[in-house]
Copies of this chain bind each other. A is one copy, B any other.
Amino acid sequence: MTATIIDGKAFAANLRAQLAVEVASLTAKGQQPGLAVVLVGEDPASQVYVRNKAAQTLEVGMKSVEHKLPADTTQDALLKIVKDLNADPSIDGILVQLPLPAHIDTQTVLETIDPAKDVDGFHPMNVGKLATGLEALVSCTPLGCLMLLKDKLGSLAGLNAVVVGRSNIVGKPMAQLLLAESCTVTIAHSRTKDLPAVVRSADIVVAAVGRPEMVKGDWIKPGATVIDVGINRVPGKEPGKTKLVGDVDFATASAVAGAITPVPGGVGPMTIACLLHNTVTAAKRRRGI
């Protein structure tokens, strides 16, 4: 292995420590930031996420509010809760955990969240402001990837960046962020012809496709920086055991790349840290700081 390992876990811990200082300062002025998380239904993965979010929210000293609603909650009841949180001055960030049950229109719920409290950055107003270069709240995972890249590389201007995957949550906002940093940005996806050749042109590769170990070492330009957003559970070596792998084949890619994020411990820890970061950002903007 030649690549430097990008330690997202340590970076996220450091970011949370910095946020704790800011939160303490705001709290001392009677301006403690608050994050509300709304969970509808019993999805086990969502329950774990929400528990982790709440724990880390408290850990940095913010107010944490949880609304756990039964799976048969009506859309109107959910919208009422969102509107109440919009109006609640002690709440700076609102996160409705996805996926929502099928009888609820997700887009309607997301567009009901006050864009100034939309710490997931999914409201079209925030997506549009990001795309236009205006002050926005930015989707947490791509924001975390950008922080890791800038920490590793400094200025990204002029670098060739290839984003593999075009989801609304990662790929597309990632491309906008890299473009704002003056990268030459290529968005590749399932319809891309000769994906290995496209990836091989990249100084920066962001893989966000959800396919275990798809990006191979011989797709990577020697010395490139590789950010692996994938978190895929696959069978482990021992029968009945599983393990987590990314969208990048770490064993071969780390032999070629200049720097690479591991899975786990790379991008993963950045997502919640950036959620907290966005909540502090929203709190400061709402207080005119």
Contact = CB atoms under 8 A, between A and B. Distances in A.
Contacts of A127: 124, 127-129, 131-132
Given A123-B128, A124-B129, A191-B157, A184 B198 contact: yes
A127 B256 CA distance: 38
Nearest to A183: B191
A187 B157 CA distance: 13
A189 B181 CA distance: 12
A158 B193 contact: yes
Contacts of A198: 184
Summarize A's interface: helix, strand, loop or mixed: mixed
A5 to B, nearest CB: 27
Interface size class for chain A? Answer: 20 to 34
Contacts of A107: 134
A60 interface: no
Contacts of A188: 184
Copy number in the complex reads 2
A191 B187 contact: no
A46 interface: no
Nearest to A156: B191
A103 to B, nearest CB: 20
A183 to B, nearest CB: 8
A131 B182 contact: no
A53 to B, nearest CB: 23
A232 interface: no
Interface in A63-116: 107
Given A131-B131, A168-B132, A189 B193 contact: no
Nearest to A133: B168
Contact of A131 (B128, B133, B157, B193): B128
Contact of A125 (B128, B134, B157): B128
A176 B132 CA distance: 12
Contacts of A4: none
The 10 closest A-B pairs by CB, nearest first: A124-B128, A128-B128, A127-B128, A186-B186, A182-B191, A184-B192, A158-B191, A124-B129, A132-B168, A127-B131
15 contacts: A126-B128, A127-B128, A128-B131, A131-B168, A131-B172, A131-B176, A132-B168, A133-B168, A158-B191, A158-B193, A175-B187, A179-B187, A184-B188, A184-B191, A186-B186
